[in-house]
């Protein structure tokens, strides 16, 4: 695969759950002086989202150029209309991604914010209260949603700016020559070789980066020597990633999957269809049930780590627009590892023998769920999900 374009000299701060993420985000917005870009899948109507909305409007009133993109499905048609009206009154630029599926089936699942081209935020957190279910805001969660974001300062921020500016412009009407100039600037950045801490932006779209995130995972798994910790709420990867996990475990790497369960029964059934083969090859699977696990994070060995919006399923890896950061830094990896290990400690390990002996009707249900999922993804990805 092509170089990820790592840059050195970045300050990457790990932010755990909304209690750390939203105060940092709102502080940055409140101190913005020139421009703000924000992308999110869900922009809810709860109290937390209200604080972010007020901060964005306050910045616009100070003369800051504020551009907000939300996903039409994730945020909802009615909420998009209300946000459009309110933001328009306050001179905040607003657009919904792919309304009425005008641009196909892809969704904008990225969670990004850029402030003054000096700092950026990226991760798995939507603009919603992490004490409320993201399926139904009327359902309280027993604990804050388990999720992660990062605050970034340094050279990588420019790449994030170019990515967000391109995404905003792509959704506008633009002459062909202007589009070419924009893409040429975006992809002209070269990788920086350095032994210092490195970070790279990894995006997935349906143009030049169709498999970038999957290939990044495959390369990390293929090079793993000692351990792999992977946490994700929606586990339904294609054959290549499943084989990479099993292969790492077979060659002696300690592979542990921390998976969110209990949110969608159909999703759980699909994930369970993969358990027997993974368990057989030595992959440890831990189910997290204390609250909604929404983090999409991984740590490989001592210094490779990733945080982002991409789930470990066919929709994120083959259909939707996603954004992750890969960090090569021992201190950052250790901090993220500590959180994942705590999640593993709070979870329930799947007993390989007990799972082998599950009733036939459950096994049949898991197989049917996977068959339906596989065939849907086969159609949506033109067969790519099966690879």
What is the strand order of the sheet 65-71 is part of? 11-16, 148-153, 119-123, 112-115, 35-40, 65-71, 93-97
Told to judge if 296 belongs to the known catalytic residues of this protein, a careful annotator would answer yes
Closest by CA to 257, choosing from 280, 226, 235, 281, is: 235
- Active-site annotation holder among 13, 30, 301, 346: 301
- Active-site annotation holder among 294, 313, 329, 339: 294
- Active-site annotation holder among 16, 53, 111, 272: 111
Residue 315: DSSP 8-state: H
Answer yes or no: are the C-beta atoms of 233 and 259 closer than 8 Å.
yes
Told to judge if 240 belongs to the known catalytic residues of this protein, a careful annotator would answer no
- Active-site annotation holder among 30, 46, 116, 346: 116
Residue 221: alpha-carbon gap to chain centroid = 18
Told to judge if 346 belongs to the known catalytic residues of this protein, a careful annotator would answer no
Three-class DSSP category at 374:
helix
Told to judge if 129 belongs to the known catalytic residues of this protein, a careful annotator would answer no
Closest by CA to 199, choosing from 279, 308, 87, is: 308
Closest by CA to 164, choosing from 55, 65, 30, is: 65
Told to judge if 109 belongs to the known catalytic residues of this protein, a careful annotator would answer yes
Show Cβ contacts of residue 297 under 8 Å, excluding neighbours closer than 6 positions: 124, 148, 230, 231, 232, 305, 306, 307, 308, 336, 339, 340
- Active-site annotation holder among 272, 296, 321, 339: 296
Told to judge if 301 belongs to the known catalytic residues of this protein, a careful annotator would answer yes
Tokens 């399926």 — which residue?
135
- Active-site annotation holder among 16, 53, 67, 109: 109
Active-site annotation, residues:
109, 111, 116, 294, 296, 301
């Amino acid at each position: 695969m092509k170089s990820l374009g790592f840059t050195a000299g970045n300050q990457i701060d790990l932010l755990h759950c909304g209690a750390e993420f939203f105060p940092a985000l709102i502080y940055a917005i409140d101190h913005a002086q020139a421009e703000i870009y924000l992308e999110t899948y869900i922009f809810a109507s709860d109290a937390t989202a209200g604080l972010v909305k007020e901060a964005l409007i306050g910045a616009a009133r100070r003369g800051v150029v504020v551009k907000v993109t939300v996903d039409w499905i994730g945020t909802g048609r009615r909420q998009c209309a209300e946000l459009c009206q309110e933001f328009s009154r306050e001179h905040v630029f607003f657009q919904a991604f792919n309304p009425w599926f005008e641009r196909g089936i892809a969704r904008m699942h990225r969670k990004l914010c850029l402030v003054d081209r000096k700092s950026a935020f990226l991760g798995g957190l939507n603009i919603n209260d992490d004490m409320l279910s993201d399926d139904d805001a009327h359902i309280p969660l027993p604990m804050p949603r388990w999720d992660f974001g990062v605050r970034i300062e340094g050279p990588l921020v420019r790449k994030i700016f170019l990515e967000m500016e391109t995404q905003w412009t792509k959704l506008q009407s633009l002459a062909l020559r202007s589009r070419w100039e924009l893409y040429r600037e975006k992809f002209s950045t070269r990788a920086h070789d350095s032994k210092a801490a490195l970070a790279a932006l990894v995006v997935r779209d349906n143009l030049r980066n169709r498999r970038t995130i999957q290939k990044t995972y495959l390369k990390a798994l293929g090079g793993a020597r000692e351990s792999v910790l992977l946490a994700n709420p929606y586990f339904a990867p294609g054959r290549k990633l499943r084989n990479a996990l099993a292969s790492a475990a077979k060659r002696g790497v300690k592979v542990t999957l921390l998976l969110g369960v209990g949110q969608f029964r159909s999703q759980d059934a699909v994930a369970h269809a993969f358990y027997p083969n993974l368990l057989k090859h030595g992959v440890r699977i831990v189910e997290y049930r204390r609250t909604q696990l929404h983090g999409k994070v991984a740590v490989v060995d001592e210094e490779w780590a990733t945080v982002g919006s991409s789930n470990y399923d066919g929709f994120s890896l083959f259909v939707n627009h996603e954004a992750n950061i890969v960090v090569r830094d021992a201190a950052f990896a250790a901090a993220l590892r500590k959180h994942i290990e705590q999640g593993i400690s709070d979870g329930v390990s799947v007993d390989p023998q007990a799972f082998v002996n599950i009733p036939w009707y459950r096994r049949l249900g898991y197989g049917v769920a996977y068959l339906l999922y596989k065939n849907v993804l086969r159609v949506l990805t033109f067969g790519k999900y099966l690879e």
